[in-house]
Amino acid sequence: MQKRKLGNSNLEVSALGLGCMRMSFGDSPVGDKQEMISFLHAAVDRDITFFDTAEVYGPFTNEELLGEALAPFRGQVVIATKFGFKHDPIKGPHPSVGLDSRPEQIKRVAEASLKRLRVESIDLFYQHRVDPNVPIEDVAGAVKDLIQAGKIKHFGLSEASAETIRRAHAVQPVTALQSEYSIWWRTIEDAVLPTCEELGIGLVPYSPLGRGYLTGKIDESATFDSSDIRSGNPRFTPAAIRANRVVVDLLAKIGEQKEATPAQIALAWLLAQKSWIVPIPGSRKIERLEENIGATAVELTKNDLSQIENAMSQITVVGDRY
């Protein structure tokens, strides 16, 4: 597995990370704990060193899972987690409850995450979503305090605008931005991606396979459990699934030339955009993990990328992402 550095930082990770949310959150049924521990060990065995979680996944159970599973690999792996959601007395932190990035809350979350992850310092601590009620300078200042105290190593943002990134970076350098980015969701290319490049900030794309759609394994007959985020997603209505098939057909066409799957082409396309981009596809199955890892060996030439660019410019993707 190749390694990449996130921007100008010294944070080196595997070229492909692993999004761990669906191991214990986001759809039903969640993964069996022991099976997921074995799966995480298998990921480490295959040279994955970058693992993504958050306190809200579960809540809490995903961090606990990674803390237990990755304890034998301290110093060999990088774990990223997140703060930023309000804590409800019953639900705990949950997107439906609202946002809370007050400095005192950030520090409380950090202490709790340290315990669940079983680490002395969190490798990468993202603000999960920008809180409009708390100045980003205050957020960056709180994380700076935690870095100076040795409890956090790197500061990250998620789904932040170019202006917000600049303001935060002026207080505490931002190591990585996590944002949705894939061949069928490219809005960040206008302002956010150039800002990351200018400031030396790594990009960590989540949903790099379009929540599974870009694998080519979802057709209009697909049904989703009510707990699955795709059940209410405009891009996963039968009409949108049918209309967007042209994107998968393009990936499959390139894949035939490269002896690769559509998923591998989608990931290889991301890896080819910038040397500081590290996608984090989610997976719970060894065969999917190995397929994704195979993308790192797929080389897309300038010709290939131009072909993809020209074809995508003729395609209108149907449906909003949320």
Question: What is the set of active-site residues?
Answer: 57
* Contact of 241 with 214, CB cutoff 8 Å: no
| CA nearest to 175, candidates 203, 136, 142 | 203
Residue 194 has a CB neighbour count (10 Å cut-off) of 12
Packing angle between helix 33-45 and helix 286-294, nearest 10 degrees?
A: 30
Residue 230 has, within 13 A of its CA and on its CB side, a CA count of 20
Longest CA–CA separation in the chain, Å? 55
* Contact of 183 with 311, CB cutoff 8 Å: no
Strand spans (E) along the chain? 3-5, 12-14, 18-19, 50-52, 78-83, 87-88, 92-93, 122-127, 152-158, 174-180, 202-206
Q: Which residues 6+ apart lie within 8 Å of 28 measured at CB?
A: 225, 227, 228
For 78-96, letters b (16+ CB in 10 Å) and e give: bbbbbbbbbbeeeeebeee
DSSP label at residue 278:
-
Residue 93 has, within 13 A of its CA and on its CB side, a CA count of 27
Residue 66 CA to residue 117 CA, distance in Å, equals 6
Tokens 């200042």: give the residue: 141
Residue 39 has a CB neighbour count (10 Å cut-off) of 20
